[in-house]
Structure 1
Amino acid sequence: MSFEYLALLAAACWAFGSLLSAQAATHLGAFAFTRYRMLVAMVLLWLMTLFNNGWQTLSSESISLLALSGAIGIFIGDTALFAAMNRLGPRRAGVLFASHALFSVVLAYFWLGETLWGLGLIGSSLLLSGVMIAILFGKRQNEQHQWESQQHGISLGIALGLLAAVCQAVSTLMLKPLMLTAVDAIAASAVRMTTGFILHLLFLLLGFKVARSLLPLTGRIFSLVIINATLSMVLGMTFILQALKHGDVGKVAMLSSVSPVLILPMLWLVYKRRPAWGAWLGALLTVLGTMLIVGT
Structure 2
Amino acid sequence: MPCANIETPSGPIEFNYNISTPSDANATSIDESLPTILLLHSCYFGSVSFHNQLNDPNVRKYNCIIFDARAHGKSWGDLPRNWSPAMAAEDAVLLLDALGIEKVHLYGVQMGSLTAMHVAILYPERCLSTHLLSPLSVRESEDVRLGKEEIAECWEQGLDDPQAQGDAVFGALQLAFSHNLGTLGHAAVKRSKETREQNMAGDFRVLTIDFFNDANRHLYSKEGFSRVKCPVKLTFCTGDIAYTLEQSEELLRLMQSAGVDASLNQVEGCHYGNVENPTGCVSSRAFVRPGRS
TM-score range, shorter chain: under 0.3
Comparing both structures, which one devotes a greater share of its residues to helix?
A: 1
Q: Which has the higher contact order (CA 8 A, sep 6+)?
A: 1
Comparing both structures, which one devotes a greater share of its residues to strand?
A: 2
Normalising by structure 1, report the TM-score. 0.27
